[in-house]
Amino acid sequence: MKLLYTLVFMLTLSAYNVKAQAVTKKHSTPVFYADNVKAPLTAKELKMLKEVYADQLDKLVLNRPQRVKDIKNILRNRVEIVEYKNKDLSSLPALSSVPLFNLYNKALTRDVFVTAENFNVLKYNLPFYGKKRATYHIDNTAYILTIIPQHEQ
């Protein structure tokens, strides 16, 4: 009888082991960067980063080369700001519905006056690593902000 229990136990354990080995690991898709991310941060990009990360900028971004590369990729290749004059943009979610990314700078505020040139997309907790495009209407403007997924480029 003891032998039968041992045999049943071993078979059960063996079945669980086979099932655990059969689980396939998900492979991550590599990110391909355009050549423009090799260039150093511009003064404008650095200013945007300082506004968001404040005194944590060196620790959280500048001392982490991959993080710098990812942010340059977002700013240079994955954000589109397009002006649509004389179009009804009310069907799009408003940027004001997106919370500020004020984790490191509690004094961060929304811009009252926005142009494509002065807009800091990093101030907002946007889905930069989502799988689909995300589009928002920048409040009180004719601008549409689109975040392009990193695997769509």
Per-residue pLDDT of 16-63, as tens digits, reads: 555 555 566 666 778 889 999 999 999 999 999 999 999 999 999 999
Per-residue pLDDT of 96-137, as tens digits, reads 999 999 999 999 999 888 888 889 999 999 999 999 999 999
Q: Which helix (H) or strand (E) holds 46?
A: helix 43-53
- Give the closest residue to 122 by CA, choosing from 61, 76, 71: 71
Enter the pTM of the model.
0.79
Helix and strand numbers, DSSP H then E, in the chain: 4, 3
Instruction: Tell me how far apart the alpha carbons of residues 86 and 48 are, in angstroms, rounded to a whole number.
Output: 30
Q: Which residue stretches of 23-142 are H helix? A: 43-53, 57, 65-77
